[in-house]
Chains A and B, each alone.
Chain A
Amino acid sequence: MKFKLIRSNKRFLYKGIIVEPQVRDFFTGRIWTRSNTPFHQEKVNAYIQQNYFNVKSGITSQPKGIFLRQSFTCNRCYNQIQHEFVQYNCAKCEKICVYCRHCINMGRVTSCTNLILWNGPLPLKYQKHVLDWDGTYTPAQKQAAQELTESMNNKRSHLVHAVCGAGKTEILFPAVLHALNKGLRVCIATPRTDVVLELFPRFQKVFPNTNIHALYGNAPKQAGFSQLVLSTTHQLFRFENAFDVELVDEADAFPYTIDLALQQAVLKAKKEGAPIAFVTATPSTQILNTVKKENWSYSFIPKRYHNHPLPVPRFEALWSYEKGITRGKIPLKLIEWTEKRLSNREPFLIFFPTIQLMQKAIPLFQRMNEKILSVHAEDEHRKEKVIKLRNEEIPGLLTTTILERGITINNVQVAVVGAESKIFTSSALIQISGRVGRNVQFPEGDIVFFHHGITAEMDEARNEILRLNKEGFGS
């Protein structure tokens, strides 16, 4: 009787080290600084010595241009903006080193730090994923979901353009399930932490058998290998060549649209040739151009899931509101609007262009009703305040643009103060208008742009909403 020798892959023969599943699961697809891992330094060094990692320098420089000036590239965030690189006298190397300020919040990367990429065996993939969702699709949603799944299956990139409140998240479910069951690794990325926090429990609920990780700044440690990753686009700096399918939600949000490095990060996190899908209510011209140029497939949903038209914003002049608020007086129209909301017991959101103006306004509003609160990006209790509004513990919130997307509150009424400000672009205004009337029971609501002169952006937002309504309802 002959014994057949079982040959394992030559690269992963026993080399004096048994690969720990924790190490393997953590590092697969990740690019990490060598000295700052969650594991012991000696352990990591041993793995590196056995070639389980590819090591590369943190920052590479190349001569560029006619004068052959040194041009730096950060290997983690792919930043190439030269003034964000700082040269300094390194006490460790005793020569001039360079570091990148662009991704310094994730720990400094210098030309003398090593970045490590996993090169060892891949984790075993769990392949019995279940979709536990008993909702129903509208015909438009169903079609978009099918189109998306098909595109992902054929490795073709895709754009889903759906109005606010069309039920975009549900459209992703079949595509994600299909990819997971094929053993592919899926990433859902978005520029906003709030969106990750909102999506995470929803995905955990509908994919009960899947280990899902949610990654954002200061996220808690999560164990095991996750085949489905929900992440902010910033956290994708820490991935390279990792995902087989990538879905970018709210792809038009700040800062993704203006930060080239973030866009690069999204591309480098996926494997070569892997499909990417953008899901948004307000695609920028840049995205629309790529769709045309690279011949992506495209789904369009002009209707909300409850089959009611989008609320159309109305314009109200609120002359010299800034002066008035600075002097301690809210303009009369705004008082009337707020009091009407208070007497009707409708929750409301009032958007302000700057934090400074909002902070001047909040004591004035609290004179009307002391429970009114304000919220901005650096607010620690941001999550709790939104929940309070949802539970009708407080009558309304003053906010900056951070609440422009990704939040759903029943029967909310919205006012924008200073809609002519630069920060309220047409896409921001469309998103803000999209907060209103998202629930079947309350499909309508008031959306007012209080302004000090109408801008082209305001007109554009209104016209786009009218156009979408026309396309959806043909009238």
Chain B
Amino acid sequence: MKRNEVENCLLCNSPIDVPVTWKTLLTNEFPRTICLECEEKFEICKTSNEEVTSLYKYNEQMKDYLHRYKFMHDLLLAKVFRYQLHYHLKKTKELIVPIPMHAEKRKERTFAHVDELLNEAVIPYTHLLEKMTTATQASKSREERLNTPQIFQLEQGVIVQQKDILLVDDIYTTGTTINHAKQLLLDAGAKSVKAFTLIRG
């Protein structure tokens, strides 16, 4: 991995001054991509239950980050959380399954945001699901979200029986997305389904 891959903070563009230590020279850890001030503005999420683990809270800084990454399509920002994601997911024994995007939606955005986060964190994953609707959760009210019918289906020919599965998504708000996917996988015979999200809204 290149040492000077990122010279300026990806979020505020001020130079990153990291002293070179023996640790940075000898270990293969990810180089910094954002400055300390920007990193401090992200709030770590402490409340987590057995089923769903989240890393960060949804605050102003996170809102800005998501806007720039998902809606302004600044793909390079996938690197921002690679260290944290790698650290939390590298030892999982479950099968990592990202929440998929509808093919049309993916073309529109030109990338699948959850997949890219995992790619940058060097975490292997498998796709088991397919999304059927192009409607986004963000465009619906809470009531509508809770009452939507199943939005996923299994990809053809996949077998989930007796498997432990970890679903990965970017944000957990009402839990509808995760619950739909979980229900589907459990019905298909999965042994256990847990979820991991970057943000908790």
Contact = CB atoms under 8 A, between A and B. Distances in A.
B111 interface: yes
A86 B76 contact: yes
Interface in A91-148: 91-92, 97, 99, 101, 104-105, 107-108, 110
Contacts, number: 33
A91 B109 contact: yes
Interface size class of A (residues with CB under 8 A): 10 to 19
Given A90-B111, A92-B107, A110-B110, A101 B73 contact: no
Interface of B: 7, 68, 72-76, 106-112
29 contacts: A83-B7, A86-B75, A86-B76, A88-B75, A88-B110, A88-B111, A90-B110, A90-B111, A91-B106, A91-B107, A91-B109, A91-B110, A91-B111, A92-B107, A92-B108, A92-B110, A97-B110, A99-B75, A101-B74, A101-B76, A104-B68, A104-B72, A104-B73, A104-B74, A105-B72, A107-B72, A108-B73, A108-B74, A110-B110
Given A86-B76, A105-B72, A110-B110, 12 more contacts: A86-B75, A88-B111, A89-B111, A90-B110, A91-B107, A91-B109, A91-B111, A92-B107, A97-B110, A101-B76, A104-B73, A107-B72
Nearest to A83: B7
Interface of A: 83, 86, 88-92, 97, 99, 101, 104-105, 107-108, 110
Closest A-B pairs by Cβ, 4 of them = A108-B73, A92-B107, A86-B76, A91-B106
Nearest to B13: A101
A92 B109 CA distance: 8
Contacts of B108: 92
B74 to A, nearest CB: 6
Contacts of A110: 110
Contacts of B106: 91
Contacts of B107: 91-92
Contacts of A97: 110
B122 to A, nearest CB: 16
Nearest to A105: B72
A355 to B, nearest CB: 10
B74 A91 contact: no
Contacts of A92: 107-108, 110
Contacts of B112: 91
Given A90-B110, A90-B111, A91-B110, A108 B76 contact: no
A357 to B, nearest CB: 14
Which of A88, A90, A91 is the most central at the interface, judged by chain B CB atoms within 10 Å of its CB?
A: A91
A270 B74 CA distance: 30
Contacts of A88: 75, 110-111
A104 B10 CA distance: 12
Contacts of B75: 86, 88, 99
Contacts of B72: 104-105, 107-108
B64 to A, nearest CB: 11
Nearest to A88: B75
A272 to B, nearest CB: 33
Nearest to A113: B110
A99 B7 contact: no
A88 B112 CA distance: 12
Contacts of A104: 68, 72-74
A58 B75 CA distance: 17
B114 to A, nearest CB: 13
A102 B108 CA distance: 22
A90 B75 CA distance: 10
Contacts of A91: 106-107, 109-112
A101 B68 CA distance: 11
Contacts of B111: 88-91
Nearest to B8: A83
B109 A99 contact: no
A74 to B, nearest CB: 14
A72 to B, nearest CB: 14
A88 B72 CA distance: 15
Nearest to B7: A83
Nearest to B103: A91
A88 B113 CA distance: 12
A138 B30 CA distance: 63
A104 B13 CA distance: 13
A97 B110 CA distance: 10
A105 B11 CA distance: 12
A168 B67 CA distance: 40
A242 B108 CA distance: 31
Contacts of B76: 86, 101
Contacts of B73: 99, 104, 108
Contacts of A107: 72
A110 B72 CA distance: 12
A90 B108 CA distance: 10
Nearest to A35: B108
B141 to A, nearest CB: 27
A86 B5 CA distance: 12
Contacts of B74: 101, 104, 108
